[in-house]
Amino acid sequence: MPKTGKGLVEYAKAQLGKPYWYGTFGQAASKPLYNEKKGQYPSHYKWEYAGELEKVHDCGGLIKGYLWCDSPEDNTPKYNAAQDISANQMRDACTKSGDIFSIPEVPGVLVFKPGHVGVYIGGGEVIEARGHSYGVVKTKLSERGWTRWGYCHLLSYEEAAPAKEKTTTLSLPVLKRGAKKDSVKAMQLLLLGYGFTMESYGADGSFGGATERALKAYQAATGLVADGICGPKTWAKLLGV
């Protein structure tokens, strides 16, 4: 059976509320699986197994689970090494993509920020395997700092014809010193990509003095008003719109 964007949405919806385990893709949680993954990724498994039995995924594993499982309930995914790629590799392999401001209203489109991927389900909402503290959750597209969208190269999209596409309007938040949210981290990662560092702090999701200085330097270098506030014009420049 062909794998589709709509099918991915239905699969993702069926996983809501289930646990996040790094390095997994739809297997049933178990003590042996926990031990295996803890051996592979010790820094991601500093918590103890609590007896979970549900299906588990990480962010990219949510897409792989759909590709490799026969149904949303199937917990015996058929591993495919050729499709086992990271979130960033998924982004780079998309057949069509763009900055997040131009995301089409097409169910199953993938959304990205550095090192992370989610599934756009339409109506301004995303399902993502967010992390161990959250599990698989539904979030607002505008609230999580997504920077890119793309058509997964392993899926077909019935609505993908340009005449049938609708564009979702997305307003990213205005950020200034004192802000602490995922969109701050996304902005910081973009600044780092352009060579503007936050000194020793890195992309920590906190808009402090180092981030303000980096942003002002970027704004000055790109002809923007160097006010240290990330508004629509600065977002557009960072995202290459």
Residues paired with residue 175 on neighbouring β-strands, in sequence order? 230
Q: Which residue has the tokens 């549900």?
A: 54
Using pLDDT thresholds of 50, 70 and 90, give the confidence band for residue 170: low
Confidence of residue 167 (pLDDT cuts 50, 70, 90): low
Domains of the chain: 5-164 (3.90.1720.10), 182-239 (1.10.101.10)
What digits encode the pLDDT tens for the residues 75-94? 999 999 999 999 999 999 99
Under 8 Å between Cβ of 52 and 44: no
CA-derived radius of gyration, the chain? 19
pLDDT reading at 46 higher than 60: yes
Confidence (pLDDT) at 193:
84
Per-residue pLDDT tens over the stretch 88-114: 999 999 999 999 989 999 999 999 999
Between 180 and 4, the higher pLDDT residue:
4
Query: 178-206: per-residue pLDDT in tens?
Result: 998 888 988 998 998 888 988 888 888 89
Of 241, 67, 69, nearest in space to 153 by CA: 67
Strand order in the sheet with 110-113: 96-99, 148-151, 110-113, 116-122, 125-131, 135-140
pTM, rounded to two decimals: 0.71
Token representation of residue 178: 């004192």
- pLDDT for 164 equals 45
For residue 44, pLDDT beyond 90: yes
What pLDDT score does 241 carry?
67
Mean pLDDT, the chain, rounded, equals 91
For tokens 């990724």, name the residue.
Answer: 41
User: Can you tell me which residue has the tokens 């099918």?
Assistant: 7
- Could you count the other beta carbons within 10 Å of the beta carbon of residue 86? 12
